[in-house]
Chain A
């Protein structure tokens, strides 16, 4: 059954994955291979940051209902420690080379679009509303990352090799998107969340089709990393948070 506790936890998962990926994409600013890519990824990052804010705002309301005082968006984003973050392990992985960034984005975008399409029909009206708004942006994100997978995969020998390597290295971080724990099950039962496992088949179909057009091979490894949704992260998250949070940590309450 959905309780405020489980709903809050679920909203943090949605918000944190958006936030951490936005932060990662922001790292490309000024370092992109061409100016146009710099701008494009900044746009995608800002879209995700906007979505994170909507999820945080709702989470904050739920927390207020639960505890009498809910943390603000800023407090949730900038004053929580690593173990309290609920993002997918996939999104905290380093940018690497451009193929790594594109592979991470592609895996995430395809899943994100499927997820939001389901959440658009959530029994929770607020979740449905936010999902519908986010979906328009995410539909474009998928197109863009799909284009890049095809162009780099079916490009030169070097780009093909790098793209395949990135697809393989990040593969074990994709399993987590399709596993359900107690929080997922509690909310799915009420139609608030969607059944994570049911997204796996359409995701593999879409990813497989794009990779095959890109002359890339869908990895077959079965073993998957997990833990992000429960707050058990890879060593990379701490570095992301250090850069993202240092200002509010060093100068609490600073504004401009």
Chain B
């Protein structure tokens, strides 16, 4: 018999209203609806979420680890992009 694997899905859960969906892991499912149900059973057993997103892992385009240097290193030498040059008044908290 021809045995085909179910596609892999990446699961995103929003833990409470106002927060963003966060990647929690991946699982297998035959289609998007079942992926949501499986995510409910695998990742929200302990009241972790109020909303679930699923996306086929194959549909994600990722940066390549080999391109790490050209992509990220140039930012290292640009300290002026960090807001560390402004004197802060002492009265201002939580910034």
Contact = CB atoms under 8 A, between A and B. Distances in A.
Interface string A118-144: 000000000000000000000010011
Contact of A39 (B1, B31, B41): B41
Given A43-B41, A43-B45, A36 B33 contact: no
A36 B45 contact: no
Nearest to B29: A36
Interface in B8-59: 27-31, 33-34, 37-38, 40-42, 45
Interface residues of B, number: 15
Contact of B28 (A34, A140, A144): A34
A158 B4 CA distance: 14
Interface centre among B6, B41, B42, by most A CB within 10 Å?
B41
A4 interface: no
Contact of A36 (B1, B31, B42): B42
B6 A34 contact: yes
Contacts of B34: 147, 151
A40 interface: yes
A39 B42 contact: yes
Nearest to B39: A36
B37 A40 contact: yes
> Which of A34, A35, A151 counts the most B-chain CB atoms under 10 A from its CB?
A34
Contacts of B1: 158
A34 B27 CA distance: 10
Contacts of B41: 36, 39-40, 43
A49 to B, nearest CB: 15
Interface string A137-169: 000100110010001000000100000000000
Given A36-B27, A40-B38, A43-B41, 15 more contacts: A34-B6, A34-B28, A35-B28, A36-B28, A36-B29, A36-B41, A36-B42, A39-B38, A39-B42, A140-B40, A144-B37, A147-B37, A151-B30, A151-B34, A158-B1
6 nearest interchain CB pairs?
A: A36-B38, A40-B41, A43-B41, A39-B41, A36-B27, A39-B42
28 contacts: A34-B6, A34-B28, A35-B27, A35-B28, A36-B27, A36-B28, A36-B29, A36-B38, A36-B41, A36-B42, A39-B38, A39-B41, A39-B42, A40-B37, A40-B38, A40-B41, A43-B41, A43-B45, A140-B40, A143-B37, A144-B37, A147-B33, A147-B34, A147-B37, A151-B30, A151-B31, A151-B34, A158-B1
